[in-house]
Structures are given as C-alpha cells and as structure tokens.
Amino acid sequence: MKTAHADRGAPTTAVERPLEGVLVLDFSQFLAGPSCCLRLADLGADVIKVERPKSGDLSRRLYLADQSFGGDSALFHTINRNKQSFAADLKNPLDLHRVKALIARADVMVHNFRPGVMERLGLDYGTVADLNPRIIYAAITGYGSEGPWRTKPGQDLLVQAMSGLAWLSGNATQGPVPMGVSIADLMSGAHLCQGVLALLVRRGRTGLGGRVDVSLFESAMDMQFEQFTAFLNGDGQQPMRDTVNNASVYIGAPYGIYPTADGYVAVAMAPIDHLGELIGCEPLRAYTDPSGWFTARARIKSILAAHLATRDSEHWLAILEPADIWCAEVYTWPQMLAHEGFASLRLTQTIHDADHGTLRTTRCPIRVDGAVLTAPRGAPTLGRDTDEIARRFQLDTEEEERA
C-alpha cells in the first residue's frame, strides 16, 4: 500500500463546462433537490439558492459529526457549494414579485416542497409556465402528488422502510437494516438531474420548456429493479435473506463479505468447486452442480468463512486475483484514503473561505473532455448574494416604476 497525496493533480476548473449560461433557481432544501442543483452547478450552471430569510435551508443546522464550517453545518457546504444565496419570503408580495422576475429569466427551477405548497404560493407549474414558457420546472416529492401517501414526510429513512429497501441488507437473523447513506435522497436527486438535462436537450430542439417530477419512493423502487422484478415474477413471497454473510437475496454463494485473519474480503460470483480447488478447501470441491450454489448457500458460505478466517487477506487475494476471481479487500476509509488507487482518481477537493479557512470534501464524479471538475467556492451564507442578484437582474426596476 502506497501513501497518497491529497487533491493530487493539476486543477482543471478552467474547462468549458457544458451548462455554462444556464440559470437555475434552487428552492429546495436538505439533500434531494440540492444534490440535483449541485450537479447542475458542477456542470457549469449558475445556481441561485432561494431561501427564507433568517432560517434559510434547514440543513444549515443539520450537523454530521458535530462539524461546522463558516457558521453552517459542513453537510450544508458539501451539498450547496458553488451556489449563490437569495433571501426571499415567498409569502411577502414584494419578495414574491422579485422571485417571479427571476423566474421569468431562469432556465430551470427546482423545488422539493410537499404537494400543494407551490400552488398555495402561486408558483405552481401553470403559473410559472405562463411567466416563462421556456423554463424547466423540476420537482421532487416523497411519494408523488397523488394517492394516500402524498402528504407523508418525504424523509430518506422512512422511504427506505416503506419501499422494502431495508429488507435487502443484513442477515436473515436480523431485523430490517437501512443503508448507511441517504440513498433515496441522492438517487432521486440524480434522477431529477437526468430529467432536467433531457428537457434542456428537448428545449434546444423545440424551444419548449416542460415539467419533470420524481419522488424518493419511485427512485427507491427503481434502485431495486433487479430484485423486485424477480419478486414480481416469482411466487409472491418475500425473498429470504441468507443466514450467513448475506449480500443479495437472489444470488447464490459465494456472494458475500468474509472475515480473514486480519480483516475482510469480498467475494462475488465464482464457481464453488473451482474456488475450493484454488484455496485448498476440499469440502467446497464437492459442490459441482451450480443449482446447489443457491439452495445450499448458507452451508457453502459457512465452510468458506471458516476457511478464509485461517489466513490474512493478502494471502487470499494473492491466490484469487491472478485466477480472475472477482474479489476485493474491504477497506476502512483510512485504508482507502492511503491507497495509491484512490489518489490516482483525485476524488477530493478543498473548499476555500476567506473568513473560515478550508474544508475538504468530494468533487463532481463526472469528467468532461477528460477534465476533473472541481469548484473551490463553498456554500454561501444566507442571503449573501441578494443585493447583487437584484442589481444584476434589475429585479426592483419594474416595482419602482409602478410605484
């Protein structure tokens, strides 16, 4: 294992980004909507975050590991970097007028309010489309805009619970196990971004704007398409997780993570008898019939687990990798961060703030024309850019003339 250097490689922020010149209004908060707008910003869009005065996006106070940066949570900065902040009370007629003037100039607007909220504020799709027929109106809800779930809180853990996602992880002896990341939030944000980009392409061809809607629940179900399709075409019974090293409800042994003498290794698909021959485990060589690799998976995994625990990870990888067995060492973050493989990807970047120092975080995972996309500007303080944006777009001119 070689030592990596943080943020290695020449900066590539000068590349012409594909969304330069696109104006996005981000009315969303927490993770799902802001993650969509973050990716649009990474790709070059000018993103203005429209926030309530005084409180702003509630994730400004959503702390992970009690970490803050610039007076707001570090989490807020990771999901709202490279945006501007425009403070506006949408229930105030003057502020609403200014926001509508921004909407008339924007290419995209994104929100994740519950169904009915934007209608009450007078910013529903019909009204917005009348203001700006070319705009892309993008919305995220928890469970869609119809049906009995429409008013339930769209929160990631709750969606994991209701969608069945929590029943895919863990062993059969455990209860439901949620994923360790906000996967429904982030996937729905990615889906919304895909929809926005598709409608921007259509607008370039037809001149027409449009509306794109996604929900956390639908995104959570889409992530389960492999397993859920098998369920829909099966016997209608909830699939059983394996009792030993479960990693997939429908894939046979050896698929799972196994302890070794000094750590863990992941082993994906492999012929059991061939695997047994490679590692010198005689009991596994008897499993020559592929049909038994699923029906007897608990027994097979138990045998394999006991055998792999006798030697260290490096020993087993030296045998399995040259034989093209799909396997990998299970890294902790410190192990991963120290590896040359991680360093070569240049996956981290440093956010700079003149008053509060630096914050290290991830970068955009997309490369454009071979270039790594970084954005060293952190998230804005609440309302920091309100006056500048008002001047830039002459938001008060019409109101002053009318007065």
Q: Are 105 and 23 in contact (CB under 8 A)?
A: yes
Rounded CA separation 142/131 (Å)? 27
Q: What is the DSSP string of 292-323?
A: HHHHTHHHHHHHHHHHHTTS-HHHHHHHHTTT
Q: In 45-182, which ranges are continuous DSSP H helix?
A: 74-80, 93-105, 117-121, 125-131, 156-162
Rounded CA separation 326/266 (Å)? 8
Burial bucket for residue 84 (CB in 10 Å: 0-12, 13-18, 19+): buried
How far is C-alpha 250 from the geometric centre of its chain's CA atoms?
Answer: 25
Question: Beta strand pairing status for 84-87 and 72-73?
Answer: unpaired
Active centre residues (catalytic): 185
Rounded CA separation 403/397 (Å)? 10
Rounded CA separation 114/55 (Å)? 18
Rounded CA separation 294/361 (Å)? 41
Rounded CA separation 176/189 (Å)? 24
Q: Which two tokens stand for residue 182?
A: 């906000």
Residue 51: beta bridge partners? 87
